Amino acid sequence: MDKNELVSITQGALAIMNPTTPEKVLAAGKAAGLREGSRVVEAGCGNGTILGLWGREYGISGLGIETREDACTRAEETLREAGLSDRIAVRCMDARDYVPGEPFDCAASIGASHIHGGFAATLESLLGLVHDEGTIVIGDRCWRSDRTPPEFAREWPDVLTGYEILGLAREAGLDVAAVVRSSADDWDRYESGIWQAVLSWLADHPDHPDRDFMTDYLRRIQDEYFGYGREYMDWAMYVLVPGFW
């Protein structure tokens, strides 16, 4: 099954396609200094919920970039229903190919670091989208500590510890203004939403040629979550600002 199709099936119905809440998204936006007139770009905007929240609460304008056509359509609907389509546009394209006409005040990638190949590459790319005083918000997985059993850690070679993320931010000349971390309940709710989506798809597609693949996928992600993910894996939004040192 195509990767984009899999994402659409498993997460397309989720309001926020990450283990977080609207309140935490707003907290990250506040820490990033979003306010009336701030121009924001989000790489991998999914269904537009995060830009919609920031648009309603802080009066931002800007752009969401998303490669999945169905997600682009939903993002446009989300922003239109929120009365924000005149201020926040959606560009259906690979975020790696986007070149801004002018720098933004804030660049975000919430749960979409895979687009660029990990946290470090995402940070580098987002820095190229903002002006010198611009802020960065990255939501990503991380290990809870550097004592994750190797048999688990090697399954996720791109996942860093929070301390490693701090180091990358400092190397880029940034300070960490805030960390907005997911809770156990956030994780359970997010993962359960994916499981329910897969189970619903299986019920609706008894003769689909990808049925065995989807069954194996469900079992694998549940094995990962119950086996070690819930104990060792973390997720947080890191708000990075220009350094003052």
Gap between the Cα atoms of 202 and 122, Å rounded: 34
In sequence order, what are the beta bridge partners of 90?
64
- Rg of the chain on CA atoms, in Å: 18
Structure tokens at 200: 């619903």
Between CA 111 and CA 84, with CA 37 as vertex, the angle to 5 degrees is: 65
Q: Percent of the chain, pLDDT > 70? A: 100
pLDDT, tens only, 202-214: 999 999 999 999 9
pLDDT value at position 25? Answer: 98
pLDDT value at position 242? Answer: 95
State the DSSP H helix or E strand holding residue 7, giving kind and residue range, or none if neither. Answer: helix 3-11
pLDDT value at position 155? Answer: 79
pLDDT, tens only, 109-153: 999 999 999 999 999 999 999 999 999 999 999 998 888 888 787
State the DSSP H helix or E strand holding residue 39, giving kind and residue range, or none if neither. Answer: strand 39-43
Reported confidence tier of residue 193, pLDDT bands at 50, 70, 90: very high
Rounded to the nearest 5 percent, the helix, strand and coil shares of the chain are 45, 25, 30
58 or 3: which carries more pLDDT confidence?
Answer: 58
Query: Taking 80 as the threshold, does the pLDDT of residue 172 lie above it?
Result: yes
Give the CA count within 13 Å in the CB-facing half-sphere of 72.
15
Query: Taking 70 as the threshold, does the pLDDT of residue 245 lie above it?
Result: no
Contact of 161 with 138, CB cutoff 8 Å = no
Structure tokens at 111: 């749960």
When pLDDT is averaged across residues 17-36 and rounded to a whole number, the result is 97
